[in-house]
Amino acid sequence: MPFGTFPLNDGKKIPAIAFGTGSIYKRVDVTRYVQQAIDAGFSHIDTAQWYETEKYVGDVIRDSGLDRSDLYITTKYGIGDVQETIRSSLSNLGLTYVDLYLIHQPAYVPDVDAVWREFEIIQKDGLVKTIGVSNFTLEQLQSLVQKANIWPAVNQIEFHPYNYAKNKALVEWSTKHGIITEAYSSLSSITKFPGGPVDVPVAAAAARLGISPTQVLLSWVRAKGAVIVTTTSNKGRLNEYLAVGDLPPLSDTDIAAIDEAGAMGPPTPF
């Protein structure tokens, strides 16, 4: 079945795959790439204050001719006054609200609890539909929810086979408590750490299923119940990513083999 949506703990839904505009695109004109993604079939676009790509995303939204309800827009709070920052982001995007607003990085937020209280206010004011976090550890997430009136709906983290063992408890706790994990850098085992243990089970699954290693890794993310956040400047790869939504799920054996290989760690030069 094609990529659908995940239900969120606030009653809303989030598309199961997003096109990201961070990474290599920070401070880069991403207009063409975002347009390609929307043309290919992506409805969920992920940006951030720190990426400095919001204006380009806004240009594409304006020129797309699509209804606002046809798009799901995520942006992220970096630093500064929350009210000022969200209004700046909305101005950049040319929108009256964003679908998802995340605390980008807790390490740069002196008082996470105070910022979260402001998040709760801007959600009630209708400036954002859903609120969440990014790059939170299990301990940071547990600390936040102890004082929160509204729990985060999402935690966006770096997530791939080589850090799955480290993040397993976080993801399982989040799932148990209705917090969706969003996964970025999920292709790292073949883009950043080629030649490592994960290559073997990924290649075996790809050969047996007649799909690409990239599609195996994205299917692995789906199997973990996470939203995929990925990116590319290549039109063909956009279609490759979206085709994962029509693939049958990996077998339990495939998933276990990738998990076990990932736990061995990425290759090192020594």
Residue list, annotated binding site for substrate: 104
State the Cα–Cα distance between residues 131 and 12, nearest whole angstrom: 11
Closest by Cα among 105, 174, 116, 110 to 142:
174
Q: What are phi and psi of 182, to 5 degrees?
A: -105, 135
Angstrom CA distances, 102 to 40, 48, 182, 207, 235, stand at 26, 9, 11, 38, 28
Write 234-239 long-range contacts (CB < 8 A, 24+). Answer: 235/36, 235/40, 238/19, 238/36, 238/37, 238/40, 238/41, 238/42, 239/40
Active-site residue numbers? Answer: 51
Q: Cα torsion at 56, 233, 42, 32 (round to 10°)?
A: 40
Neighbours of 126 (CB within 10 A): 9
